[in-house]
């Protein structure tokens, strides 16, 4: 059973992972648009896309900072050692629907990041 603080941190992590997923989806859409612009030799649209990519990349960096802070707080709640936590460790002991939601987000992030690679 989670203590109330850890539950709140995990809820915040779920929200932030959802936001991060949205950011990466936006980057994927821009990458597809960029490819189309390159095919059409549309330099004006390409410049707009690059400017948008830069803004979204900054948002992604901020989301990563937030996510890392939440993970650090979870590590502290679970024993005080700040280290890289495996995802399976993170969801261990979680109740539904929180565990399922985090697993879903992990899979969607993998899919989107794989498409971006």
Local confidence pLDDT in tens for the 117 residues of the chain = 578 888 899 999 999 999 999 999 999 999 999 999 999 999 999 999 999 999 999 999 999 999 999 988 988 887 766 666 677 777 877 888 888 999 999 999 999 999 998
Q: Tell me, yes or no, whether 117 lies in a domain.
A: no
Q: Tell me, yes or no, whether 67 lies in a domain.
A: yes
Q: Tell me, yes or no, whether 24 lies in a domain.
A: yes
Q: Tell me, yes or no, whether 39 lies in a domain.
A: yes
Q: Tell me, yes or no, whether 71 lies in a domain.
A: yes
pTM recorded for the entire structure:
0.85
CA atoms within 13 A on the CB side of 81: 4
The structural domain count of the chain equals 1
Q: Tell me, yes or no, whether 98 lies in a domain.
A: yes
The CA distance from 43 to 57, in Å, is 21
Range of the domain at 23: 4-112
Token reading at 62: 């901020």
Q: Tell me, yes or no, whether 97 lies in a domain.
A: yes
């Amino acid at each position: 059973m989670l203590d109330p603080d850890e539950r709140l941190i995990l809820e915040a992590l779920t929200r932030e992972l959802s936001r991060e997923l949205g950011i990466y989806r936006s980057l994927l859409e821009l990458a597809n648009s960029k490819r189309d612009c390159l095919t059409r030799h549309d330099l004006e649209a390409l410049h707009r896309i690059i400017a948008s990519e830069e803004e979204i990349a900054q948002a992604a960096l901020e989301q990563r900072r937030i996510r890392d802070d939440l993970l650090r707080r979870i590590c502290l709640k679970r024993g005080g050692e700040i280290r890289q936590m495996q995802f399976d460790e993170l969801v261990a002991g979680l109740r539904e629907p929180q565990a399922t939601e985090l697993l879903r987000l992990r899979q969607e992030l993998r899919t989107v990041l794989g498409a971006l690679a």
